[in-house]
Amino acid sequence: MQILLNGEHFTTEASSLDELCEALGFAGAKVATAVNGCFVAATARAKMCLAEADEVEVVAPRQGG
């Protein structure tokens, strides 16, 4: 299915957010996730089913003022 990942079109076969993160190599990484503008806790990623056109954000620590 086609989703928006970090603002870009992305094709994935992952059915859950957790699967998507694994496929991207983010398992165990220092990241946080949101789907369609809402925070999804790490513990909730396995139950978070992805749907066509979902907007997924995967963020990590960065410099900031």
Binding site for another protein (CB under 8 A): 6-7, 24-26, 29-34, 37-39, 41-42, 57-65
Rounded to 5°, angle at Cα 54 from 50 and 60: 90
Taking a C-beta distance cutoff of 8 angstroms, is the pair 33, 58 a contact? yes
Nearer to another protein, 32 or 46 (CB): 32
In the complex, least distance from residue 33 CB atom to another protein, rounded to whole angstroms: 7
Burial class (CB in 10 A: 0-12, 13-18, 19+), 34: middle
In the complex, least distance from residue 51 CB atom to another protein, rounded to whole angstroms: 18
In the complex, least distance from residue 29 CB atom to another protein, rounded to whole angstroms: 6
